[in-house]
Chains A and B, each alone.
Chain A
């Protein structure tokens, strides 16, 4: 099948009366890593929740691999090949690492491929292989993040949705995890859509980026172009001149051009 793997058009999502997504359209090409950046409350997580079926959009369409998935139950979406790695990891704390990974294969019909995939997860995340029998709740934050990604991979997804994988991790660990995700993308061709606040890390490894503000896309482009955009530099990368006093505190108004 040709065309983008994921096509989101005019999606509006609400929390009760509050409109969280005010018409979002975006596309993710096959085998691409796409980053969605934005501040707190911009609607990034809502976007992932809406795509993965946890929330239903009130307006708009979501096509995954040519199939309409807006309003579908999340388990159906997972079966179609889209796995969400939720914000804050959400591993099963009292299950072991191996049991957690097994949960990721829960929806699989081809049980024969499971051991092979398990081995692959352990290959990408050797730290998990060292701790197969350990309760997930006793892992470090970085290991839990690895476990959550590994668990999602057990569903053999065409596409991984990552919700703030860098949250609460040391810069070194963020580098490590992003490197592994990039490797998975390169080796297996798994498409990745990730939502991040850590713009520097995300723009460093994604191919294409969207900037979200107040429930809308404010800017999109190749990550290399986004890195050069003056608004992205000032508001997302923290690069700014000190101004005449060398201590400029005020911010320019964003124009997103």
Chain B
């Protein structure tokens, strides 16, 4: 139930309750909050339960970037509260709709303010620019009773008091300082008095002030509780816990709609990060950006009508912006040039929400990253994640020369785990890779991203060295294989009970869309994996570079943007 009371701002914690890496448990109007400060200073006020099994997040672990639940290790991102990782299923990217409830919050005057549906301005705090935050005093009494009694607070000679518009009370000593007292209504019969003194203090003077007020407030507390004891105790407040998104009830995540540019972002930084590579920092025009996971990419819709995919390079917890790196391609069809030459700081771009078809497993004891050139971008985000969690990895970055090393600063954080291989010939690269990939094993994984020929070679070297198909993860920037769209065949849609014909010259995706079926897609060239669809029956002519050889042989899924039927008919699981 939301009432007028829920739309107010209340102080729920002192800033000093949120030391580094702590999670503080607060309560307001019967609802528990988990309150934590990320290393970037942002204060998160969330529903105090994990969406999975309802365990209090206040007993979770704040790693400075994410909050990790104690029960199953689910991770929720700073700022967005979106789930970034579900350890029980390391190969899956969590559905985007798994997002905890956030509550409006502000940190001002040494207090953290929140409200279930708070909006508008905080109370006017004129005269309280410099403050000492008093020790909060809990009172077993209803808010109204506490608020009434605050007026009788006397801390020095000649105190006068007045009630402010927000219900707080300012008590001023004759010719001296003022104290402003607020009530935090935790529950129907439980409140906390939070006070501010209108002067800064430190050292012994501060201790003396805190002791003085603490003693007097404790006295006030005893008086209020004595009065409350003679009254009937109200029933505890009942809070409703919002239901989770409907698509999460059936276990497979629901597919998202089409190729959409649902977000508007502003380019707030544009800089050359290496020769021929520009990095863009993108910030939301309004509201928070959706949660991303390492390996995720976004579609950027350019002014010239082109749509291009770029991986996010962000580390965990960097949730107030997205960073992408774009290489100027000499044989560009207009995408990279449009970004290099046509996009300037301050411009607004249309982008899709992040999709993750290249998820990072975090159940490896050791992970090997092999990046070639601009292929570094998704792997950088992954490595930063493992580095932050203290999981073992090594990062091999193959570049033409030192001038081509992008995102130098981020690599600096990873120390010895990173090896830059400069200016190697294809033969030398092969030798190096054979050495790097010589030890496959249990719980060891390799992630590869780079130009097509290098990627092919690396996959082959890994397979030859004995790495299992499931341990080799890769992402192509583009699909350069020759594609044949001359065949014509039928598709049966098992769940929607439809039969459609795919003529030559059209893709399955085209035909599905024409029939009004919403299918998500991104690169539309068989590289990114977004338009993947289950196949129940029929032989597939795979023309993508997303599926692994094993997945292709199993024939259980198809990339609808490029692949076709090798038989007359396919039965698709949609």
Q: Is this pair of chains taken from one and the same complex? A: no
